[in-house]
A and B are shown apart, each in its own frame.
Chain A
Amino acid sequence: MPSTPPSTIQRRITSVEMCDIVKRFPGVLANDRVCFDVRAGEVHALLGENGAGKSTLMRQLYGMYQPDAGEILIDGQRVEFHSPADAIRSGIGMIHQHFMLVPTLTVAENIALGLPSSRGPVLDLDKVSARVQELSAAYRLKVESDAYVWQLSVGEQQRVEILKALYRGASFIILDEPTAVLTPQEVDDLFATLKHMVSEGHGLVFISHKLNEVMAISDRVTVLRDGCMAGTIPGREATRDILVSMMVGREVKPLAPQPLQAGAARLKIEGLRAQGDRGTEALRGVDIEVHAGEIVGLAGVSGNGQRELAQCLAGLRKVTTGTITIDGKDLTHTELKAHIEAGLAYVPEERMRDGAIRDFSVEENVFLHDHAAPAYTHAGIFLDFRKMAAHATDLVKQFSVKTPSLDTPIKNLSGGNIQKLILARELSRKPKILIAAQPTRGVDIGASEYIHQRLLEQRATGTAILLISEDLDEIRSLSDRIAVIYEGHIIGIVQRGEATVEEIGLMMAGVSATHG
C-alpha cells in the first residue's frame, strides 16, 4: 500500500476557485465571465473546441496571463499571480502540451533545472536523483533519473514533466491536452497515474477535446464554448451526446456509413521502401491495397512512416524499392505531376505549410494546382479572373467555407474553414484516389463532422481513400479496413469492427495482432 508520499506537497490546497473570469485579447473576448473550481481529490475536465478559451483560462490560473476581471481564490483566499513562479509557489503546476524539457540533459538535470541547489553554486544531482526516485516510486511513475531525455519515449517524457511538477511541490496540477501524443496504452498508464494522484489528495484539471477520455477520467466536466461557460456536469452523467451538444451548441448525429461493395483495386502499394529526411529508412516494406469505394484507415503513432508514405504516394519522395500502382499504371518513380494526372489528390498533414499559402487569398489558394488549366486562363498565359472567381465562389458555397470574401488572405480563416477549402480544392478535381492525412487535426467538431461526411460521400462515388490519422475514433468510424503502421511497415490489417481499440492500440505499440 502506498504510504503518504514523502512530504510532496508543500502546501496542501483544498480548493481552487476562479470566479467570473474575463480575459480580452485585442478584438477577442477569450473568456467571458467564466467560473471554474477544482477541489482536492478530483479530476475536473475542461472541455471545448479549439479556441473555446480552455488554455487561456488555465494560463491565468498558472500566472501566465492576468485576468481583466474576476478573481482567483485558493482555499477561500484571494490570490494574484503575476508569473508562473507565483503559481508554483502556491502549489499549482502545469503540464504543457509541448514538453518543456532539454533533450540533451538527464531526467534529474531537467528536474533540477531552474531550481536553487541545496549546495549553493554546486549541483546536488545525487540528492535530486534520490528525491526523484522516491517520488517515482510513490506515484508509480517509472523513470530512470539518470537517463537522457532524448532516449525517452513520449510517454516517459510526460512522466518526467509530471515528476517535475511534483518535485516543485505542486498540489494542483493542470494537464493541457496530455493525451494528444500518446498511444492508447500510454493513455491507460497516464490515467492510472492520475487516479493515483487524485487518491493522494491532488486536484487535477484535465484539458481535452477528446470525449471518451473526458468521460473515462473526470469527476466533473466543465464545457467552454466561444469563451463562455456552456455548463458543468458530474462526470458520471456525461454522455457523448450531451457533451457534444454542449460543445457545439446543437446536436451532432453520429456517422453511420453504409457498407459498400468495394470495386477494383485503385491504389496498390507493394513492398514499398523509402528513406526518411534523416537518411534512415522510414518505410520498410509497406503493402496496402485501396479499392474503389473503400476507405482504408492508416492508424499509427505519428512518426512511424505515415508522412513518408503519403509523400511517396504523391510523388514527392523518392522510392528506394517496391512499387506504387495507380489504376494499373506504375507510378513508382514519377513526379507529382504524373500522379495528379493519374487522378490522385492529396490533403497534406501540415495544412498551413504544405497545403496552403498563408498570404495568398482564398481564391488564389483554390488554384494552387490548376491556375494554368485552360479553363481558367486566356491562352494559358493570363489568369482569367472571372472564371477563377466563379469556380472559387462555387467551392466556397458548396463546402460552406466561412470567409468574408474571396480576397481574404487564407491565414485569417479558422483551421476548420481552411481545411474545408483544401478538401474542396482536392475533391473538385474529381480524384480517383484521395490521400487524406490528418484531415481533422485541430479542426472544430462542426467542421470535422462536415469533412467526415464529405469523405463518405466521396467514397460513395467510387473514390479510393487512404485516411491517415492518429485519431483512432476517426479511423474507426470511417474506415472499411484499418491498417496499422509501426516503424515503417504494416503490422496488421483488420476489417471494420473486427478489432477492439485495445487490439489496435497494441498493434500501434508494435505488438502483432493474432488475426488479420
Chain B
Amino acid sequence: MSVASADTLPRSRRLSIDWVNAAFRIGLLLLSLLFAFLIGAVVLLLLGANPLVAYSTMFTGVFGSVYGVTQSLVKATPLLLVGLGICIAFRASVINIGAEGQLILGALMATWFSLQFRTWPSWLLIPTTIILGFLAGAAWGFIPGILKARLEVNEILTTVMMNAIALQLMNLLLSGPLIDPAGITAGTYLAQSERLPEAVWLPRLVPQTLLHSGAIIAVLLAIAVYIFLWRTTIGYRIRAVGLNPDASRYAGIKVPFYQALSLTLAGGFAGLAGVVEVIGVQHRLLEGITSGYGFSGIVTALFGGLHPLGVIPASWLFGSLLVGADKMQRAVQVPSALVDMLSGLIVLFVIGSQWIANRWSKRRMAAAAGAKR
C-alpha cells in the first residue's frame, strides 16, 4: 500500500502544468484550424477563386504592414473582453448568448454619459465612463440572471431576447434623443450619435493607427479574471457551481446566487467591449456598433478553452481572421462572409478535437493507473 506522504505531494504544484497534455491540446487546436482552412479552400475553389492567392492575401494583409497588425489587435480587443465574460458565465454552466445586447448597453451608456458630461477632464471622464459602461452591461446580464435564479427561467432564451430589446432600444435612441444634430441640419438623418468629446477618447498606442489603450486594459483584465476564477473564494464557488450544482448545494453554496452573479459579470465584460468600441475606435455610437462581436466572442472563448489566458491568443487569432477576410474580399472578390464560415468550421473542429483530447487523456490516465498495479 503506497500512500503518498506529505513530502511527496508536490508543493508548488499549481505551476507544474501537465506539459504533454497541454502540447497535445494545442496541437489539436492548430490541427482543427488547418482542417477548417482546408475546407475553406474547397469553398474558395467552388467560388472560382484561387485558395492560395486568397489565403496569402489574407496573411500578408494582416502581417504585411503595421496597420494590418494593429488593426487585428483593435478587433481582438472587444473579442477578448466579450470572451472573458463568456468564460465566467460558462464556468458557472450559465450559457450567455446575450453579449450582443450587453455590449450595446455598454456602448449606449458610454455615449450618453460622455456627451452629458463632456466638460469633465479626461482623467475623470474616462474611468467613470468605463465603470458606468461595465455596470450598464452588467445590469443587462443581471436581468436574465435574476430570472434564472428566482424563477428558473432558461437563460439562453432570455439572453437572446434581451439582445433584440437592446438592439431596438439603440435604434430608437439613435433615431431621436441621441441622433447627431449635424445629421439633422444636413438632412441626412444618419442613425449615429454626435461625435464624442475628445476628453473621453482612449489614447492611441501607435500613431496613424486605430490601436488604442483599451487593448492593454483588456489584457490586464484577462489576468484579473484568471486570478478571480482560480484564486478567490468567489471564483472557486462559481467553478464549483458550474461543475456540480448538487455538491455545491450540499456544501452550502448558494447556487442560484452564483449563477446570477456570473451572468451579471459576463454582462459587465460585454458592456466593456461596447465602451472601448465607442471611446476607443469609433468615437461615436452608430448602427452596427457590435460588428457581431457578441457572438464571435463566444467562439473566441471556446477556442481559448474557456480559460481567460487562453482567450488572449484566441482573440488575436480571430481578430486577424477578421482583418484578413477584409483584405481577401478586396483582392479576390470573395465575400468576407467566408470568414464567418471559417470560424464556424473552426468551432466544429475544436469541439470535435476536444472530444478526441478527452478520450486521449482518459486513456493516459487509465494507462498510468494500470502501470501502478
Residues of chain A touching chain B, judged by Cβ–Cβ distance below 8 Å, are 25-29, 226, 314, 316, 335-337, 340, 346, 348, 350, 353-360, 364, 367-369, 371-372, 377, 380-383, 385, 389, 393-394, 396-397, 400-407, 412
Is A314 a contact of B250 with CB atoms below 8 Å? yes
> Could you give, for residues 247-273 of chain B, a 1 whenever the CB lies within 8 Å of some chain A CB and a 0 otherwise?
111111100000000000000000000
Partner of A372, one of B2, B14, B233, B247: B233
Partner of A400, one of B1, B14, B249, B363: B1
- CB neighbours (8 Å) of A358 from chain B are 243-244
- A485 to B88: give the CA distance in the assembly, Å: 45
Q: How many residues of B contact A (CB 8 A)?
A: 39
- A337 to B257: give the CA distance in the assembly, Å: 15
- A346 to B249: give the CA distance in the assembly, Å: 12
Partner of B247, one of A337, A355, A405, A412: A355
Min CB distance A401 to B, Å, is 8
Min CB distance A446 to B, Å, is 8
Is A348 a contact of B250 with CB atoms below 8 Å? yes
Is A382 a contact of B232 with CB atoms below 8 Å? yes
- A47 to B108: give the CA distance in the assembly, Å: 70
- A405 to B9: give the CA distance in the assembly, Å: 5
Is A337 a contact of B368 with CB atoms below 8 Å? no
- From DSSP, what is the main secondary structure of chain B's interface residues? helix
Is A407 a contact of B369 with CB atoms below 8 Å? no
- CB neighbours (8 Å) of B237 from chain A are 371
Residues of chain B touching chain A, judged by Cβ–Cβ distance below 8 Å, are 1-6, 9-11, 13-14, 16, 231-234, 236-237, 239-240, 243-244, 246-253, 363, 365-371, 373
- From DSSP, what is the main secondary structure of chain A's interface residues? loop
Other A-B pairs, 20, CB within 8 Å; known A354-B250, A372-B233, A397-B6: A26-B370, A27-B365, A27-B369, A28-B370, A29-B373, A316-B250, A354-B246, A354-B247, A355-B247, A368-B240, A368-B247, A369-B251, A371-B236, A380-B233, A383-B233, A383-B236, A385-B14, A400-B3, A403-B4, A405-B9
- CB neighbours (8 Å) of A403 from chain B are 4
- A157 to B184: give the CA distance in the assembly, Å: 80
Known: A316-B249, A396-B9. A381 touches B232 (CB 8 A): yes
Partner of B369, one of A28, A348, A350: A28
Is A368 a contact of B5 with CB atoms below 8 Å? no
Min CB distance A222 to B, Å, is 21
Is B6 a contact of A393 with CB atoms below 8 Å? yes
- CB neighbours (8 Å) of A360 from chain B are 239-240, 243
- A336 to B367: give the CA distance in the assembly, Å: 40
Known: A360-B240, A403-B4. A412 touches B233 (CB 8 A): no
- CB neighbours (8 Å) of B233 from chain A are 371-372, 377, 380-383
Known: A29-B373, A382-B232. A405 touches B366 (CB 8 A): no
- CB neighbours (8 Å) of B234 from chain A are 381
- A28 to B369: give the CA distance in the assembly, Å: 7
Min CB distance B205 to A, Å, is 31
Min CB distance B132 to A, Å, is 24
Min CB distance B364 to A, Å, is 8
Is A357 a contact of B10 with CB atoms below 8 Å? no
Chain B residue at minimum C-beta to C-beta distance from A354: B250
Is A405 a contact of B246 with CB atoms below 8 Å? no
- A364 to B2: give the CA distance in the assembly, Å: 22
- CB neighbours (8 Å) of A27 from chain B are 363, 365-371
